[in-house]
A and B are shown apart, each in its own frame.
Chain A
Amino acid sequence: DAGITQSPRHKVTETGTPVTLRCHQTENHRYMYWYRQDPGHGLRLIHYSYGVKDTDKGEVSDGYSVSRSKTEDFLLTLESATSSQTSVYFCAISEARDEKLFFGSGTQLSVL
Chain B
Amino acid sequence: SQQGEEDPQALSIQEGENATMNCSYKTSINNLQWYRQNSGRGLVHLILIRSNEREKHSGRLRVTLDTSKKSSSLLITASRAADTASYFCGGGGYQKVTFGTGTKLQVIP
Within 72-112 of A, Cβ neighbours of B (below 8 Å) are at 90, 92, 94, 97-106
Nearest B residue to A30 via CB reads: B95
A100: chain B residues at CB < 8 Å are 33, 45, 48
Q: Is B88 an interface residue (CB 8 A)?
A: yes
A-B interface contact total, Cβ < 8 Å: 71
Contact: B2 with A98, CB < 8 Å? Answer: no
Q: A90-B43, A105-B42 are in contact. Are A99 and B92 (CB under 8 A)?
A: yes
Nearest B residue to A104 via CB reads: B42
Q: Which of A1, A40, A101 contacts B97 (CB 8 A)?
A: A101
Segment of A13-21, A43-51, A61-69 in the binding face: A43-51
Contact: B96 with A42, CB < 8 Å? Answer: no
Q: Is B16 an interface residue (CB 8 A)?
A: no
A48 to B31, CA, bound (A): 18
Q: A42-B102, A59-B1, A100-B33 are in contact. Are A105 and B95 (CB under 8 A)?
A: no
A104 to B30, CA, bound (A): 24
A98 to B48, CA, bound (A): 10
B97: chain A residues at CB < 8 Å are 33, 45, 92, 94, 98, 101
Q: Which of A31, A48, A56, A106 contacts B42 (CB 8 A)?
A: A106
Q: Mark A30-41, 1 if CB is under 8 A from B, else 0.
A: 010101000011
Q: Is A58 an interface residue (CB 8 A)?
A: yes
Contact: B95 with A101, CB < 8 Å? Answer: no
Most B Cβ at <10 Å: residue of A33, A58, A98? A98
Contact: B43 with A43, CB < 8 Å? Answer: yes
12 CB-based A-B contacts, threshold 8 Å: A40-B101, A41-B101, A43-B88, A43-B90, A98-B92, A98-B93, A98-B96, A101-B33, A101-B43, A104-B42, A106-B41, A106-B42
7 new A-B contacts, CB < 8 A, other than A98-B97, A100-B45, are A42-B101, A58-B96, A98-B92, A100-B33, A101-B33, A101-B97, A106-B41
